[in-house]
Amino acid sequence: MWRRWVAFCSRTEVGTSLAVYRIIIGLCVVLTVGWVMWAGLIDVLWVDLDHGGMSVVYPGWLVSALGGPTPRVMRALAWSTMGSGLLLAVGFGGRLTAFVTLQLVMATVDINVHAGGSYDELLQNALWLCVLGSTTATMSVDCRIRSGSWTSETPVGVWARYLIVGQLVLMYTTTGWQKLSAYWTPGGDFSALYYILQQPSWHRFEMGWVARVFWVTQVGTAVSWFWEVLAPVWLLAFYYSETSDRPGRVRRWFVQWRVREIYALVGLIFHVAVFALLDVGPFSPISLAFYAALIHPHEYARMFRWR
């Protein structure tokens, strides 16, 4: 079994999936910092109280080395982070650019514990996966410089894409396990989403009207909870889609009924709804970036007719 697992993870493929993932993550970096900059909140959220910020902040090594969390330093870091995110999106600099972007993101979004969310850690995990994987093998400036073409058939290891999918499934599974209250689980009334939509700190607009369709929020609560808790089934479906050439009745059933695609569709609907109704930062765009790794390179080729 160990030899089979090593052989499975040692396979190679065209780097299209990793490239699409890299592009979206780079744009998510720009979006995350850009939202704060657009709202004019850099001096409020990321600057220390002694320099006019909202509270005491906790600078990391980079901010401290640059002179501390002053308006000048934090503005420069914000612009640098956005620029590095753009370089990552266009695929210039390979792993080094991904690593620099990771350090810049950590220096900015982690400085204030009162401003941010778990999506910041998710973005940092995503950037670390860009450091590990060969995300600029194709669809990148690096590829253009190296081969004279924007695309390349240069093989990359599949293990990096599997790590991305593993991170996605781990996020959903642990999130579902943490929702062990009467508002979420079958032992209660599935009212969690209804109450969430009534909280002014989260909803984008007044949603008292949802009370008239309370049952819809109950269905949404139940579906989202079961979908998250059973996310390991998605991982199994992904594995079967990657090994569809092997025999097995269960594998054939998973592929035939498109379990991987159905799970992805539910997640897409969930994140679009969250983004439209709730103000929870860049959580949805960052999460959806991981979906790029669910699609095999030959499926991208078929969708966009690149080959």
Report pLDDT digits (tens) over 37-74: 999 999 999 999 999 999 999 999 999 999 999 999 99
Classified as helix, coil or strand, 203 is strand
Report pLDDT digits (tens) over 246-294: 999 999 999 999 999 999 999 999 999 999 999 988 999 999 999 999 9
| Average of per-residue pLDDT across 14-35 | 97
Report pLDDT digits (tens) over 136-189: 999 999 999 999 999 999 999 999 999 999 999 999 999 999 999 999 999 899
| Average of per-residue pLDDT across 188-205 | 93
Give the mean pLDDT of the chain: 94
* Cα–Cα dist 61/77, whole Å: 13
Confirm if 77 and 66 have CB atoms less than 8 A apart. yes
Beta strands in the chain (DSSP E): 12-14, 155-157
Classified as helix, coil or strand, 185 is coil
Confirm if 261 and 295 have CB atoms less than 8 A apart. no
